[in-house]
């Protein structure tokens, strides 16, 4: 037996690191020439100088934007007081644009500062074959896209915190000057004065969402397991029908659903919403595509060990496709939570929360502040579920079309 004399006595030999799928993918991309190993570390001194220059430019632009906003606000105040100004600046109408630019500079500068600190403090790592300026351009593009996508959400939340005089102000401000929770308190007062208590609307919505989501999860998962791992006559045709059904929105299927529920005498009941949710094609499609990535040998080994079909489905398949059914739960909750069910439920005691909020939202100008609060309450539940489960959603979307 050969002995490694290079290892000192008393020092344990290091165990080899685990070779993961990420390492295998990286090695394959290196062989294809898509990734190169970075042997020399980044010139951190030059990077720090460049980052400092960019941050100084951002600070200067913020200073200019604040200066112009202050000038324009002073002119608007003087005009509102009846003072006559002989010559107005050419950009007197662009105060909202300056505020938007200032917001973009704040967000972009903060993200770039975070990126610069991470780059300066990060150890040597493998890096794609791309220059520093290429990375910078990609980050700037992503920052602009992120700001554009998050702006409607920020504006909706800030509008719900504005008093009425700021909601009707023109040009509108992005952030409230005097934030208040009066819109939410007025909303709850209005709901408490309705014929049906607010808790009843909430309980109806929770019941429909929970039962519909659970039934959709069980039925779609079982059907997907059969379609993905078993060959039977008509299986491919059935899945083609499922894919075709994805092209039809709820507005197209509304009339057939109403006719079917009417024949089943389920109109004006919760089941008129829950039963169609069981048959939503998006969940079956996601689960089937994800289950196809499971090794068939794993199921065959379970069969050899004496496990039944339900035991294999519940104990082996479902834990391994957790990202897929979490994504399906998010889609189902979002669909059922935002369903007003006005076409199939007529009794006021069975109405959903969204329907009650929409009635308040349509109350006219006097309820503009309450309408802004309604928008926030309606979208907060799906957004929170997505935020806490976004990693599983991304994993499902990245893996749903892959096969071994």
DSSP per-residue codes, 300-355: HHHHHTT--HHHHIIIIIHHHTHHHHHHHHHHHHHHHHT---TTT---GGG--HHH
Contact 34, 127 (CB under 8 A): no
Q: Max Cα separation, the chain? A: 100
d(CA 227, CA 242): 11
- Domains of the chain, first to last: 44-179 (no CATH), 185-399 (1.10.3720.10)
d(CA 58, CA 147): 16
Question: pLDDT for 309-349, tens place per residue?
Answer: 888 888 888 888 888 888 888 888 888 888 888 888 888 88
Is the confidence at residue 170, as pLDDT, over 80? no
d(CA 385, CA 213): 13
Question: pLDDT for 183-239, tens place per residue?
Answer: 888 877 777 777 777 778 888 888 998 999 999 999 988 988 888 888 888 888 888
CA distances from 181 to 156, 162, 184, 376, 381 (A): 14, 8, 6, 12, 19
From 344, 348, 366, 359, select the one nearest 270 (Cα to Cα). Answer: 344
For residue 141, the tally of other CB atoms under 10 A from its CB is: 10
Contacts with 268 (C-beta within 8 Å, 6 or more apart), sequence order: 344, 345, 346, 347, 350
35: helix, coil or strand? strand
d(CA 299, CA 352): 43
Q: Between 358 and 288, where is the model more confident?
A: 288
Is the confidence at residue 401, as pLDDT, over 50? no
Q: What percent of the chain has a predicted confidence (pLDDT) above 70?
A: 78
d(CA 100, CA 17): 49
Dihedral of CA atoms 155, 157, 161, 163 in degrees, nearest 10, equals 40
d(CA 318, CA 228): 13
Contact 101, 65 (CB under 8 A): yes
Contact 51, 118 (CB under 8 A): no
Contact 163, 368 (CB under 8 A): no
Range in 1-15, 42-56, 92-106, 152-166 with the lowest mean pLDDT: 1-15
The per-residue pLDDT of the chain, averaged, comes to 76
From 222, 336, 329, select the one nearest 270 (Cα to Cα). Answer: 336
The backbone torsions φ and ψ at residue 35, rounded to the nearest 5 degrees and listed phi first, read: -135, 140
Is the confidence at residue 27, as pLDDT, over 80? no
Question: pLDDT for 82-139, tens place per residue?
Answer: 666 666 666 666 677 777 888 888 888 878 887 777 777 665 555 555 566 677 777 7
Contact 356, 188 (CB under 8 A): no
Query: Where is mean pLDDT largest: 92-106, 266-280, 333-347, 382-396?
Result: 266-280
d(CA 173, CA 194): 33
Contact 227, 382 (CB under 8 A): no
- What is the reported pLDDT for 190? 78
Contact 350, 270 (CB under 8 A): yes
- Summary count for the chain: helices (H), strands (E): 17, 0
From 277, 298, 258, select the one nearest 219 (Cα to Cα). Answer: 277
């Amino acid at each position: 037996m050969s002995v490694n004399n290079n290892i000192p006595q008393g020092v344990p030999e290091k165990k080899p690191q685990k070779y993961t799928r990420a390492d295998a993918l990286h090695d394959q991309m290196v062989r294809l020439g898509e990734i190169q190993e970075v042997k020399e570390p980044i010139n951190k001194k030059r990077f720090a100088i460049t980052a400092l220059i960019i941050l100084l430019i951002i600070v200067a632009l913020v200073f200019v934007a604040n200066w112009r906003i202050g000038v324009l606000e002073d002119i608007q105040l003087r005009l509102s007081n009846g003072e006559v100004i002989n010559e107005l600046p050419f950009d007197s109408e662009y105060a909202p644009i300056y505020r938007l630019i200032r917001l973009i500079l704040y967000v972009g500068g903060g993200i770039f500062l975070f990126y610069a600190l991470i780059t300066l403090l990060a150890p040597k790592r493998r890096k794609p074959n791309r220059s520093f300026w290429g990375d910078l351009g990609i980050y700037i593009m992503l920052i602009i896209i992120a700001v554009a996508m998050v702006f409607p959400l920020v504006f909706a939340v800030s509008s719900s915190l504005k008093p009425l005089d700021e909601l009707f102000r023109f040009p509108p401000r992005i952030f409230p000057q005097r934030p208040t929770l009066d819109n939410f308190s007025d909303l709850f007062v209005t709901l408490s004065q309705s014929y049906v208590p607010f808790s009843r609307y909430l309980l109806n919505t929770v019941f429909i969402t929970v039962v519909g989501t659970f039934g959709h999860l069980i039925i779609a998962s079982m059907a997907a397991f059969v379609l993905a791992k078993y060959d039977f006559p008509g299986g491919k045709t059935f899945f083609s029908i499922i894919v075709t059904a994805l092209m039809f929105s709820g507005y197209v299927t509304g009339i057939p659903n109403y006719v079917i529920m009417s024949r089943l005498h389920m109109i004006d009941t919760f089941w008129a919403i829950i039963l169609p949710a069981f048959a939503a094609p998006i969940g079956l499609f996601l689960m089937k595509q994800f289950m196809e990535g499971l090794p068939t040998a794993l199921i065959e080994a379970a069969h050899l060990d004496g496990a039944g079909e339900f035991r294999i489905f519940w104990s082996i398949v479902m834990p391994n496709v957790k990202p897929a059914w979490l994504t399906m739960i998010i889609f189902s909750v979002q669909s059922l939570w935002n369903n007003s069910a006005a076409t199939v439920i007529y009794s006021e005691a069975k109405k959903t929360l969204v329907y009650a909020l929409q009635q308040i939202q349509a109350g006219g100008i006097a309820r503009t502040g309450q309408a802004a609060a309604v928008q926030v309450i309606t979208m907060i539940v799906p957004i929170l579920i997505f935020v806490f489960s976004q990693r599983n959603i991304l994993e499902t979307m990245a893996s749903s079309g892959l096969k071994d």
